[in-house]
């Protein structure tokens, strides 16, 4: 089985879909000739020509706006926002237009677009290259929100997203583009080639939206995580010896509540992880869901380990990032509780 | 602190007059009909900068069609145009009345602006796509789109194709080349550019038309649309309807004092024209010119239609609070229906009697349509879309959380 990095897997997903479906077009800032600042579209313009993969002006409202118009025409646009942090000028087009077009036109017009955007920190990007805005999308009805944690899922989920008939926000944790990252920033970088989930079949396959994956089976506590934090959770479980059951949500909307419910009913404890700020973060929704569905099975209060409610700092990056030590403390404290 | 400079002061623009004052359009420079040249469709944008500061006009005060922009329209086509405008106006009158009678929550007229949508639509072909604002009902009425269908939407009744989900007048009619109206201002301008880019990517022959009001040109989406149109040169006509008023804000508040809206295209290298929006013949001629440019792959055109919003912004607005009541009578470009009527009379193809007769026929048609629509219900009376409909169409397939919420509601 070929091994791919996240970048290669994401690029391969677009390549596979551009070859299968000539309605698929890929565009964004620097994605054409140059292949994107993270190289996710490298070679696609050369292979498919400049009307299938092209550079756009620096205008997120324009990028998403033309994508909506192209989708209404019948194309399958895959738009890249260079950093999730730059998404805000395009947010109105996502929220007021793409997300609601099917509903408001009673299905006459739809917006099957994928908006890809690198998210998260860990690269010393400061406040404008590190944000995790997933909750700003999960709060919007009409959108699906996906965030993969490994190359296998990234390729399968992106292909599924391109085939979706509804708009999909595809968040790509940039710190794990070129290797898994468990939060130990002081240790040498690990390449994807040593990770089993870098094995990605060639050609077409999908990972269906709305299905979580069990990353580690355990009985003591359920850990709900996505993106980079899945790797942090695995490290924390290994280092503490806590028998944690780690669920990688993969898709935030629609959410796999069955997987969550099954696990928490079994373990009776739940720790929720995300890199984004805490207040009104997606963890709040997860916590509410767990409480509503599993209250009588809980042995301890639900814990959240998240980024602090501050802008993403530069020098203090590792004080901000919810690394394995903070996760380990939460695991232990939830086990002591009840 | 001592300084050689005088204190700064901020310029806050406004209209020349307010309620109680005499209407004043003396700042408007209006050339005589027939005076503006008609450039070839492949003209360079830089060669027609002056046309963004002029006004293309065809019908003169005597009702004659004069000059290089006279479109090749026969008398029957002109009569259809007159009929479409009269029907649009009668429809507006009836629906405004229905709103006052409590049959719906909200309505928006286009009184005084009928020539723009009605005339523009006739320049398009099957499969072309408009991205309209809420004041382009004429695009549909000019195609004889069933009035009952529009009224069902306005009444949010059981026969509403949009299932009661959308504010009145925010229609969607794909078959008629009428994109779903958002209600957010300016957002659809850039979508029209995207649709046109897709048509070009696919090697199609269809063109798109974006619509925006002069007030909403202040939105960043207007700039995004012009940038993308400038960069990729897609087959799109970018219409700016300058009806002088954005609710209570005069066009000066959107920047109309410093430059015309047509002139905004200059920085983007997009050919632009300014035209008399109350002159059905000028509308058709200028629309034809721009559509031909798009169709011949010559790229985008921006058109500023100079007109006047005779009615309130919406049924919720009272313009007498911010502009003189007599202002619409003083509007120097006249009324589009009266002007085309006069032209047809000058041609010997129309008369006051036939006009009165047509008006009565149209009113009967509109009334009959209203009665039929009311049989399907009105907003507060009679059958309406089900509560279960509320949960449908958020996604193609209803996800579990919405199914659960629908069950929670018990529908």
B160 is a domain residue = yes
**Which of A198, A223, A245 delimits the end of a domain?**
A198
pLDDT at B208: 99
What is the interface size between A and B, counted as CB pairs within 8 Å? 140
Only one residue has tokens 């329209």, namely B73
**Residues on chain A touching B220 (C-beta within 8 angstroms):** 61, 89
What pLDDT does B2 receive? 65
Helix ranges, A60-215 (H): 60-73, 88-92, 101-104, 134-138, 151-163
State yes or no: pLDDT of A338 exceeds 80.
no
Residues of chain B under the 50 pLDDT cut? none
Q: Are residues A118 and A57 in the same domain?
A: yes
Quick one: closest CA in A to B393, which residue?
A103
CATH number of A296's domain:
3.40.50.920
Residue of A52, A69, A106 with shortest CB distance to B193: A69
Report if residue B300 sits inside a domain: yes
Last residue of a domain, one of A164, A198, A232: A198
Question: Strand locations in A139-237, DSSP E?
Answer: 144-146, 168-173, 213-216, 221-225
The answer to whether A65 contacts B224, with C-beta atoms less than 8 Å apart, is yes
CA-nearest residue to B162 within chain A is A106
In chain A, which residue's Cα lies nearest the Cα of B225?
A62
A198, A226, A256: which is the final residue of a domain?
Answer: A198
Same domain, A45 and A161: yes
- The answer as to whether A207 is a domain residue is no
Q: Which two tokens stand for residue A73?
A: 């025409």
pLDDT in tens, A21-41: 999 999 999 999 999 999 999
- Considering the domain architecture, whether residues A171 and A286 belong to the same structural domain is answered as no
* CB-CB under 8 Å, A56 with B197: no
Specify the pLDDT at position A203: 98
Tell me if B27 is assigned to some domain: no
Any domain includes B402: no
A208 in a domain, yes or no? no
Taking 60 as the threshold, does the pLDDT of residue A237 lie above it? yes
* Region A267-277 average pLDDT: 98
Q: Are residues A220 and A193 in the same domain?
A: no
Is B388 an interface residue toward A (CB < 8 Å)?
Answer: no
Residue of B nearest to A94 (CA): B187
Q: Give the structural domain span for A234.
A: 213-336
* Residue A150 scores a pLDDT above 60: yes
Q: Is residue A205 part of a domain?
A: no
Q: Is B272 helix (H, G, I), strand (E, B) or coil?
A: strand
User: Helix, strand, coil shares of chain B as percentages rounded to 5?
Assistant: 45, 10, 50
B170 shares contact with chain A (CB less than 8 Å): yes
Q: Position of tokens 């908006």?
A: A115
Q: Per the structure, how many domains does chain B have? A: 1
Would you call B197 an interface residue with chain A, using a CB distance cutoff of 8 Å?
Answer: yes
In a domain, A173, yes or no: yes
Residue B169 lies in a domain: yes
Q: Which two tokens stand for residue B188?
A: 């659809």
In chain A, residues with a C-beta closer than 8 Å to the C-beta of B165 are 103-104, 106
> Which among B285, B365, B302 is positioned nearest to B58, based on CA atoms?
B285
The answer to whether residue A129 is catalytic is yes
Query: Which residue on chain A is closest to B200 by alpha carbon?
Result: A51
- Whole-number percent of chain A with pLDDT over 70: 100
The verdict on A19 and A148 lying in the same domain is: yes
Kindly tell me if the per-residue pLDDT of A108 is higher than 70.
yes
Q: Do B190 and A108 touch (CB under 8 A)?
A: no
Separation between Cα atoms, residue B236 and residue B211, nearest integer Å: 11
Residues A184 and A259 grouped into a single domain: no
Residues A12, A92 within the same domain: yes
Is residue A204 in a domain? no
Residues A44 and A176 in one domain: yes
ipTM, two decimals, is: 0.97
Q: Which of residues 86-125 of B touch A (CB under 8 A)?
A: none
The reply to whether A184 and A284 lie within a common domain is no
Distance of CA B226 to CAs A57, B198, B362, Å? 11, 16, 39
Which chain A residues touch B200 with a CB distance below 8 Å? 51
- Pairwise CA distance, residues A242 & A333, whole Å: 11
Residue B57 lies in a domain: yes
Residue B273 forms part of a structural domain:
yes
Here the CATH number for the domain that contains residue B334 is: 3.40.50.970
> Looking at residue A162, which CATH number applies to its domain?
3.40.50.970
Q: What is the 3-state secondary structure (H, E, C) of A238-301?
A: HHHCCCEEEEECCEEECCCHHHHHHHHHHHCCEEEEEEEECCCCHHHHHHHHHHHHHHHHCCCC
- Are residues A187 and A54 located together in one domain of the fold? yes
In the set A129, A195, A231, A274, the catalytic residue is A129
The answer to the question of residue A206 being in a domain is no
| Cα–Cα dist B184/B186, whole Å | 7
Both A286 and A256 in a single domain? Answer: yes
Q: How many helices (H) and strands (E) does chain A have?
A: 12, 12
What pLDDT is recorded for position B3? Answer: 78
Of chain B residues 147-166, which have a CB less than 8 A from chain A? 161-163, 165-166
Rounded alpha-carbon distances, angstroms, from residue A99 to A140, B76, B183: 7, 44, 14
Q: Which residue range is the domain that position B102 belongs to?
A: 45-318+327-380
With beta carbons under 8 A apart, name residues in chain B contacting A103.
165, 393-394
| Average confidence (pLDDT) over A247-272 | 98
* Shared-domain flag, residues A98 and A169: yes
Q: How many CB atoms lie within 10 A of CB A89?
A: 18
Is the Cβ pair B191, A69 closer than 8 Å? yes
d(Cα B213, Cα A152) in Å, to the nearest integer? 48
- Count of structural domains within chain A: 2
In a domain, B17, yes or no: no
Q: What pLDDT sits at residue B165?
A: 95
């Amino acid at each position: 089985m070929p091994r791919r990095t996240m970048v290669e897997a994401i690029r391969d997903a677009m390549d596979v879909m551009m070859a299968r479906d000539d309605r698929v077009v890929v565009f964004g800032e620097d994605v054409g000739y140059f292949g994107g600042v993270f190289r996710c579209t490298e070679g696609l313009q050369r292979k498919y020509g400049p009307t299938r993969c092209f550079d756009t002006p620096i205008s997120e409202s324009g990028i998403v706006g033309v994508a909506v118009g192209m989708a209404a025409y019948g194309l399958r646009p895959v738009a890249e926002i260079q950093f999730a942090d730059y998404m805000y000028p395009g947010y109105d087009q996502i929220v007021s237009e793409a997300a609601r077009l099917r509903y408001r036109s009673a299905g006459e017009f739809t917006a099957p677009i994928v908006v890809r955007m690198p998210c998260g920190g860990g690269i010393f990007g400061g406040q404008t290259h590190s944000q995790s805005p997933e909750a700003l999308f999960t709060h919007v009805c009409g959108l699906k929100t996906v965030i993969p944690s490994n190359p296998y899922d990234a390729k399968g989920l992106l292909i599924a997203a391109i085939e979706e008939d509804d708009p999909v926000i595809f968040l790509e944790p940039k710190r794990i583009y070129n290797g898994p990252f468990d939060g130990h920033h002081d240790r040498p970088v690990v390449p994807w080639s040593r990770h089993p989930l870098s094995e990605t079949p060639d050609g077409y396959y999908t990972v269906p939206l709305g299905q979580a994956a069990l990353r580690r089976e355990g009985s003591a506590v359920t850990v709900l995580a996505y993106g980079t934090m899945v790797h942090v959770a695995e490290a924390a479980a290994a280092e503490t010896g806590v028998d944690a059951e780690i669920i990688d949500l993969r898709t935030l909307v629609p959410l796999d509540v069955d997987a969550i419910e099954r696990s928490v009913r079994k373990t009776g404890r739940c720790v929720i992880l995300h890199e984004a700020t805490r207040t009104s973060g997606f963890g709040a929704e997860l916590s509410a869901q767990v409480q509503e569905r599993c209250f009588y099975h809980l042995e301890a209060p639900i814990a959240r380990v998240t980024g602090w409610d501050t802008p993403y700092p530069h020098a203090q990056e590792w004080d901000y990032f919810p690394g394995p030590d903070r996760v380990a403390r939460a695991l232990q404290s939830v086990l002591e509780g009840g | 602190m001592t300084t050689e400079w005088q204190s700064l002061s901020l310029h806050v623009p406004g209209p020349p007059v307010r309620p109680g004052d005499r209407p004043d359009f003396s700042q408007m420079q209006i050339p005589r009909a027939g005076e503006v040249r008609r450039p070839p469709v492949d003209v360079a944008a830089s060669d027609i900068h002056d046309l963004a500061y002029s006004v293309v006009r065809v019908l003169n005060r005597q009702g004659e069609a004069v000059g290089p922009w006279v479109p090749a329209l026969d008398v029957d086509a002109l009569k259809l145009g007159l009929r479409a405008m009269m029907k649009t106006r009668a429809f507006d009158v009836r629906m405004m009345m229905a709103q006052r009678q409590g049959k719906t929550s909200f309505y928006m007229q286009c009184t005084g602006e009928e020539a723009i949508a009605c005339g523009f639509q006739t320049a398009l072909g099957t499969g072309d796509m408009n991205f309209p604002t809420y004041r382009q009902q004429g695009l549909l009425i000019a195609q004889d789109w069933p009035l009952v269908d529009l009224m069902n939407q306005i009444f949010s009744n059981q026969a509403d194709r949009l299932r009661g989900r959308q504010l009145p007048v925010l229609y969607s009619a794909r078959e008629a080349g009428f994109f779903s109206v958002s209600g957010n201002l300016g957002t659809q301008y850039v979508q029209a550019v995207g649709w046109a880019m897709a048509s070009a990517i696919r090697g199609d022959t269809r063109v798109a038309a974006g619509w925006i009001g002069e007030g909403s040109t202040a939105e960043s989406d207007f700039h995004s649309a012009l940038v993308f149109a400038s960069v990729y040169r897609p087959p799109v006509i970018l219409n700016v309807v300058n009806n002088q008023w954005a609710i209570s804000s005069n066009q000066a508040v959107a920047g109309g004092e410093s430059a015309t809206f047509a002139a905004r295209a200059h920085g983007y290298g997009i050919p632009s024209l300014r035209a008399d929006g109350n002159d059905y013949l000028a509308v058709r001629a200028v629309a034809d010119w721009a559509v031909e440019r798009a169709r011949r792959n010559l790229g985008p055109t921006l058109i500023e239609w100079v007109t006047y919003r005779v009615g309130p912004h919406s049924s919720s607005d009272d313009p007498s609070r911010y502009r003189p009541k007599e202002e619409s009578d003083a509007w120097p470009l006249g009324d589009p229906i009266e002007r085309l009527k006069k032209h047809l009379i000058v041609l010997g193809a129309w008369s006051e009697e036939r006009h009165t007769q047509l008006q009565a026929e149209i009113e009967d048609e509109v009334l009959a349509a209203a009665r039929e629509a009311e049989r399907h219900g009105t907003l507060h009376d009679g059958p309406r879309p089900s509560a279960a409909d509320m949960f449908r169409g958020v996604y193609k397939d209803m996800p579990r959380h919405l199914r659960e919420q629908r069950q929670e509601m018990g529908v």
